[in-house]
Structure 1
């Protein structure tokens, strides 16, 4: 056991598989405001380069090739977009009960405006915009879906503000 004090790790990036990387870049750039840090690159299954070796370690063999691009959010969180030729869209659109990541969340004080932009770009609004503390605090949220089937939650305020005040422990008497 180490004597080093534990500390909270910071988030580095998230990888998102999409059916069309060029359309995904356009959506995430124009709607979410994220910027490109590495343009679309084709990665081939081979063992001569470090990236080829790493991808074989991650994906195994038989994938042959895929496209990848890297974007960044305003707070420097990386977004890796992957387009695999053998991409399969899941049958069920939304399966939050299965173990694994089922959404990611972004923060925007204009929840309504961003939700509208997502819908106009081919996404879906999955629920009405809701308040955590109706009539008390302006903390709002909504679940959306991008044009590729990925679930995006939008918060009006920081995660700490939403939950630090005990959103689920609110006295309703």
Structure 2
């Protein structure tokens, strides 16, 4: 039987300034800009249609949209919008998607690159704490982008205990 869903194609992030966010993701994660769907100079975008399609608050204007790619994994679609009732990014205790995770072979180097680009690293890398995920060198760390989105860095070089219980495996880039 063919699966109807193969995996995550991209994640969407609304940012306050698309040029600054693109620069940050390029410097911090090695992302590359594939294309710009909407540029700040575009004047023919139907914002009413966008409001219906995305369920935006009336009066919201889509200023720019770009698609980036990481070396491996899903794309990152950036949106710059201006609207009458924008809120800050979600925290882990809020309902909804609250972070995305990137896999790093060298988590210390990845965190340094993230910090050098302007990200805030919350702690030093921590061992994966759930019993199902423990293993030599398996670790994670959270950080924040300049606009407040949360990014998790994870490294899993060792087999995990859950692998003894099921043939299913987590995806690793």
Normalised by the size of structure 2, how large is the TM-score? 0.74
Q: CA deviation at 1:45?
A: 4.9
Measured at CA, do residues 66 and 162 of structure 1 come closer, stay the same or move farther in structure 2, by a change above 3 Å? farther
Question: In structure 1, which of residues 90, 102, 107 is the aligned counterpart of residue 103 of structure 2?
Answer: 107
Q: SS of the counterpart of 1:31?
A: helix
- 1:104-129 CA-to-partner distances (Å, cap 9, x unmatched) read 00001111111112122221111221
Task: Give how far 1:89 is off.
Answer: 4.9
Change (3 A) 1:161 1:147: farther
Work out the number of aligned pairs and report it: 155
Identify the residue that residue 53 of structure 1 maps to in structure 2.
49
Q: Say if 2:128 is the partner of 1:129.
A: no
User: What residue ranges of structure 2 are gaps of 5+ in the alignment?
Assistant: 165-173
Q: Would you say the 8 A contact 1:15–1:80 is kept in 2?
A: yes
Question: Structure 1 residues 161, 25: closer, same or farther in 2, change over 3 A?
Answer: farther
CA contact (8 A) 2:12 2:76 kept: yes
Structure 1 residues 161 and 99: CA distance shift in structure 2, 3 A: farther
Superposition map of 1:15-164 within 5 A: 15-39=12-36, 41-42=39-40, 45-46=45-46, 53=49, 56-60=52-56, 61-86=58-83, 88-90=86-88, 95-132=91-128, 137-157=136-156, 161=159, 164=162
**Which ranges of structure 1 fall in alignment gaps of 5 or more residues?**
167-173
Q: Deviations over 1:79-120 (max 9, x none)?
A: 100111238452xx7621221111100001111111112122
Q: SS at the partner of 1:101? A: coil
What is the CA-CA distance between 1:58 and the residue it aligns to?
1.6
In structure 2, the CA distance between the partners of 1:128 and 1:76, relative to structure 1 (3 Å rule), is closer
Decide whether aligned partners of structure 1 residues 94 and 45 sit closer, same or farther in structure 2, where only a CA change above 3 A counts: closer
TM-score (norm 1): 0.74
Change (3 A) 1:17 1:54: closer
Return the index of the structure with the highest Cα Rg: 1
